[in-house]
Amino acid sequence: MRLLLAASLWAVPCVAQSQPASLPARVLDDFDSTISWTPHPSDGVSLKIGTSPGRNGKAMRLDFDFHGRAGYAIARRAIAMDLPDNYQFTFWIKGRSRPNTLEFKLLDSTGDNVWWTTRPSFEFPAGWQQITVRQRHLKFAWGPLGGGVLRRTGSIELVITAAQGGGGAGTVWVDDFSFTPREPEHPYNQTPVLTASSSAD
């Protein structure tokens, strides 16, 4: 007995979830001056903060040297600001450095609770590259709170952490640091509709 089976399946197209709209950006630092930024390198690591020509006007310049060892080079700025449910930070970066870990951190007013996002083995571009850190990218790192969502910042850190074997020496430039509130993200709530037909001989 020969059985022939033909089947087809259609899925009604689902409307893609729209991306949350961005509200006007707020410039946090155009780096005409870096007086608000302070260096906090680990023991044995050198870090100097200055200015250089940037994309527009001046940029923050970070000259660091790990002296052949592990460690980190932190550039910190104290800034108190309330955070909405959804947001993003953006900045432009370029550098002359071997690949190292690039970290972006938010600290609360105590400085003991930290949220971060990391880019291990980040290859610093020779030309300007925009970095975007969205709210969903930030995870609780450590602190007595043990977790939760950060609602108000106390300071912001840009960190270069030495890769395995030592981070060497280098220079990194940062420019046009801004903050943008965004509309809240909503979970996908559409239901796909499926239909099928078959026939047999």
- The pLDDT assigned to 186 comes to 60
Is the per-residue pLDDT at 192 higher than 80? no
Confidence of residue 15 (pLDDT cuts 50, 70, 90): very low
Average pLDDT of span 150-154 = 98
Residue at token pair 């910042």: 153
pLDDT in tens, 160-183: 999 877 789 999 999 999 999 998
Instruction: Quote the DSSP letter at residue 120.
Output: E
pLDDT in tens, 74-132: 999 999 999 999 999 999 999 999 999 999 999 999 999 999 999 999 999 999 999 99
- The pLDDT assigned to 187 comes to 57
4, two tokens: 């022939």
Is the per-residue pLDDT at 12 higher than 70? no
- The pLDDT assigned to 56 comes to 87
Is the per-residue pLDDT at 69 higher than 50? yes
11, two tokens: 């899925």
- The pLDDT assigned to 14 comes to 41
Confidence of residue 11 (pLDDT cuts 50, 70, 90): very low
Yes or no: say if 193 and 15 are a contact pair by the CB < 8 Å rule: no
Nearest residue to 200 via CA among 8, 6, 56 = 6
SS3 content of the chain, % helix, strand, coil (to 5): 0, 55, 45
Confidence of residue 21 (pLDDT cuts 50, 70, 90): low
Q: What is the CATH number of domain 21-184?
A: 2.60.120.430
Residue 65: CB atoms within 10 A of its CB come to 16
- The pLDDT assigned to 7 comes to 39
Q: Residue ranges per domain, the chain?
A: 21-184
